[in-house]
Homo-oligomer: A and B are copies of this chain.
Amino acid sequence: MSRKPIGIGLLGMGTVGRGVYRILTGNSDMIEQRVGVPVEIKKILVRNVAKDRGIRIDEGVLTADIEEVLSNPCIDIVVEVMGGIHPALEYCLEALGRGKSVVTANKDMMAVHGKELFEAAGANGCDLLFEGSVAGGIPIIRPLKECLAANRIRQLIGIINGTTNYMLTRMSRERCDFRTALEEAQERGYAEADPGADVDGFDAARKLAILASIAFNTRVPLEQVYVEGITRITAEDIAYAAELNYVVKLLGIAKEGDGGIEARVHPALLPKTHPLASVNDVFNAIFVTGDAVGDVMFFGRGAGEMPTASAVAADVMNAARNLIKNVPGIISCTCFEDKPVKPMGLTSTKYYIRLNVADKPGVLAGIAFVFGNNEVSLASVIQKHTTGQQAEVVLVTHRVLEHNLQAALNTIKGLPTVNEVSNVIRVEGD
């Protein structure tokens, strides 16, 4: 093979950048064999060229000057693994503008600026690939765009945040509370010092916006994704869920139905028999239902240096192959349509509701009456006496409209016999 190598400009040498470097250099013989020509890292953009990174990098490869990457004629593909929206976005747009294909693992950028980037890629006939931006090493974007392309996707349900899945697994196995699980996750390096993006669901929401846009061929704007985190989940909720044969997971859910697309991230009770229910610890999985294929699930590590780098390196190889064959952008943006996102009030699910009530006769009847008045019918009820004066009531509803449920809860909160609506969690997957 005597063809010209494909040159890579790597933007960023953090965790994922180092992984990409390791794969492209360590597996270079195999990658050359599979691509047809060598794939070589020509430049790496870093802030501090002098910093000791613990790996040997050829002289002159590191640079602090983006122009050395963007204006380098030997660089065919720019790999953006810096993270953050700025200046990653400007660098990617500029690279595309100069006819270089872009591979990125940047979910923040793709969730918010996907349209702009795809337009630049299209205008310049370049590839824009981003498998690494969702669920780390798990193949999901290419399978959705290619392998399931003949399906109308009905729904996509994902465990797409490893931190919260680790925490919920701990809370379930060790019956510990949210705070303890968070501390443990932080000690192990699974959660940031400021864990908001994970525990409040924002990280999952970005990934869901990307996945839903691909699954339903319409741009699902991040700000239209309903988001609710796991901070209010208690060990009691998890124990009641188990008693009812459910586990509690933070899910990203996208469905297409009458009235548009549902896109929501929230904790949910999931039947123990559901394939996602046994996805534990930091593992991620995406469960997809298509009109032809039925249910399929993709499982693996959703983060980390090497898993994410595996996805990025595969995208690099595909972009390289497309360049060699002169077909960059052979599969590009798939948002052909413009479908509305359904308001949350019009979605319908089952609900788990935990109430603290006065422990006296007729209380349950009063609550049931309010639900009935709001067209909320109940599937099961657990009542536990906690003290002489109070009782805990756990209800699971049948499928109801969100706004009916909220109306019922508003009335129930005002009942003199109800001390507290302790928690309300949606029930999915059955």
Contact = CB atoms under 8 A, between A and B. Distances in A.
How many identical chains are in the complex? 2
B306 A301 contact: no
Interface residues of A, number: 57
Interface in A59-118: none
B27 A313 contact: no
Interface string A302-324: 00101101110110111001100
Contacts of A334: 34
Interface stretch (A183-191, A253-261, A287-295): A287-295
A306 B30 CA distance: 36
A300 B310 contact: no
A309 B291 CA distance: 11
A114 to B, nearest CB: 18
A421 interface: no
A297 interface: yes
A318 B321 CA distance: 15
Contacts of A19: 292
Interface in A153-209: none
A330 interface: yes
A138 B301 contact: no
Interface of A: 19, 22-24, 27, 30-31, 33-34, 131, 137-139, 142-143, 146-152, 217, 275, 278, 290-301, 304, 306-307, 309-311, 313-314, 316-318, 321-322, 325-327, 330-331, 334, 336
